[in-house]
A and B are shown apart, each in its own frame.
Chain A
Amino acid sequence: MKILSIALNTFRENLRDKLLYNLLVFALLMIGSSVLLSRLTLGEFHRLILDLGLGSINFFGVLIAIFVGIGLVSKEIEKKTIYTIVSKPVARYQFLLGKYLGLTITLFVNTVVMALGLLVVLYAQAVPIEGMLFKALALIFVEFMVITAVALLFSTFTSATLSAIFTLAMYVVGHLTADLQTFGAKMDDLSRGILNGIYYLLPNLERFNLKGHVVHHLEVSGSDLMLIIAYGATYTAFLLFTASLIFHRRDFR
């Protein structure tokens, strides 16, 4: 119940944050502009609208996850609002989970709004809407959850600016981890071992990317989808657990 109160308060905080609306407006503009851009292409404009639309949702969602996510905890510490929470009968992990859940709700609402924007555009342009689109959207949301947990983890021990840089780096690296394995395959045993270790430690965010599948009408089985979601959930749980451990030992000066 305490986690939920903190989550709802965080959600309310996000709703009253101008940054969120700016990002949301830009996302909707991008999705809408895909219609204009598709005019410039010869045929295949379905693909362009889908690719650009899903890309925009992903990009702006990640921006929200990072830039709102890093402030979740560090802003509370900087503004000293956390003093009044921790001195109440609220365990620190409850505070952390509440903040996380709050932003997750915000991101969910955002994803729904952006997805509706995309559906309107698709419908208006008479692009066939397939089930695969919804699977892709679901995995985009799972990726947001992982990124938010990364941002939260960094913000438990470092400043907002550094958390933003680290999380952004993690996002970029997370999409390139497959290259680590390819790279390792050409190295000696020790280097391969190290690179493989890093590969498994970092989140493999490419797993959540189904844009290609949607555009090229490829299928992903239900069991594969569940496996990817389970991977995202496990990774998120691992990040939140680590964040709680760090947060528990922290002094609020």
Chain B
Amino acid sequence: MTPSSDLVVQTEQLSKIFRVGFWGKRVTAVDGLSLEVRRGEVFGFLGPNGAGKTTTLKILMGLIYPTSGTARLFNLDMGDPRAKTRLGFLPESPYFYDYLTSREFLCFYGHLFGLWGAVLGRRVDELLELVGMTHAKDLQLSKFSKGMLQRVGIAQALINDPELVVLDEPMSGLDPIGRKEVRDLILGLKESGKTVLFSSHILHDAEVLCDRVAIILKGRLVACGRVTDLLDQGASHQVELVVDRLTPEGLDHLRPLTDKVVMQGDRMLVVLKSQQQVEGALEIIRTAKASLVSLNPQKGSLEDFFIREVKGHRSPPEKRA
């Protein structure tokens, strides 16, 4: 059990039902979601588009009221202004006041936290430096590229030196260099002891960055835990072998151990069901006097896990059994 003082974000049975259209049709965006984010960790909030990630983050930020359930930040009730002073938020594909220059923009947000004068000036310079935007400090935001907007957006989220930084899809729409920079920024935040909660559907980034992840589908939590634990759990542990000149008899012996065999002239790719089969397979190859070209244990990726979970939850239960 994590002591409650170490919990930065906590939701219990959080639900949100939207009413859409003329007849007020009910659409469940978030369904009984219980989550905990601990102090100092990088927490990834994953799910396909429309899974309810943004809705959940908006509830935490006080932009949307939940239909039922509770959410707490820093052990304070939702809507407590004290929580908001310790928080930084970057919305998804942010649009900002494009008539402002980046300097004016950051100063404006500083004012909302009661920062003025020289203190604010120093803070703004620091942040522009941090996100690499010092060269564009007097340029209007309307002239910015998406990557530049994302950077001042992150600077905006850090203006109050928050303990918790919440980023909604911080990598979406960025080029590889931009993504790398955002990744480095998140790691930098973690190093300086901040808690980072971010949503994403770019799984590779989550795998590299996160201490823990939660995967949600149709508003429900389907998995939550340390990335390594999730990858171990139910991962295939398949092993790929590439073999040259294996005799047909040798192949017959090998078949029961494999999932898949692909022939390419003299060479064949053999996929073993699990690591336990490796010894047996090597013995067969030696006896058949074939030569082993390579042996690759297949590491499960978060992407495989994610796709498995999503597919599992989409197909009807009778087909899954």
Interchain CB contact under 8 A, B111 and A83: no
Complex Cα gap A90–B112 (Å): 7
- The reply on A252 being an interface residue by CB < 8 A is yes
Instruction: Tell me which residues from 87 to 136 in chain A have a Cβ below 8 Å from any Cβ of chain B.
Output: 87-91
Q: Which of B55-63, B189-197, B284-292 contacts A (4 or more CB under 8 A)?
A: B55-63
> B residues within 8 A CB of A6?
112
Contacts A88-B113, A253-B18: A83 and B64 contacting too (C-beta < 8 A)? no
Complex Cα gap A2–B18 (Å): 31
Interchain CB contact under 8 A, B96 and A81: yes
B95 — nearest CB in chain A belongs to which residue? A79
> A residues within 8 A CB of B109?
84, 88
- The reply on B256 being an interface residue by CB < 8 A is no
> A residues within 8 A CB of B157?
84
> B residues within 8 A CB of A81?
95-97
Interchain CB contact under 8 A, B112 and A85: yes
> B residues within 8 A CB of A5?
108, 111-112
The 5 sampled A-B contact pairs (Cβ below 8 Å) are A5-B111, A6-B112, A84-B91, A89-B81, A252-B63
Complex Cα gap A251–B58 (Å): 9
> B residues within 8 A CB of A88?
84, 109, 112-113, 160
Interchain CB contact under 8 A, B112 and A2: yes
Q: Which of A1, A80, A87 gathers the greatest number of chain B CB atoms within 10 Å?
A: A87
Complex Cα gap A12–B96 (Å): 14
Instruction: Tell me which residues from 79 to 129 in chain B have a Cβ below 8 Å from any Cβ of chain A.
Output: 81, 84-85, 87, 89-91, 93-97, 99-100, 104, 108-109, 111-114
Interface, chain A (partner B; CB < 8 A): 1-2, 5-6, 9, 12-13, 16-17, 79-91, 249, 251-253
Complex Cα gap A2–B112 (Å): 5
- The reply on B65 being an interface residue by CB < 8 A is yes
Interchain CB contact under 8 A, B108 and A87: no
> B residues within 8 A CB of A16?
99
B29 — nearest CB in chain A belongs to which residue? A253
Interchain CB contact under 8 A, A13 and B97: yes
- The reply on B238 being an interface residue by CB < 8 A is no
- The reply on B156 being an interface residue by CB < 8 A is yes
B91 — nearest CB in chain A belongs to which residue? A83
Interchain CB contact under 8 A, A86 and B62: yes
Contacts A5-B112, A85-B112: A80 and B94 contacting too (C-beta < 8 A)? yes
> A residues within 8 A CB of B94?
80, 83-84
Min Cβ gap A249→B in Å is 7
Interchain CB contact under 8 A, B156 and A84: yes
Complex Cα gap A144–B105 (Å): 29
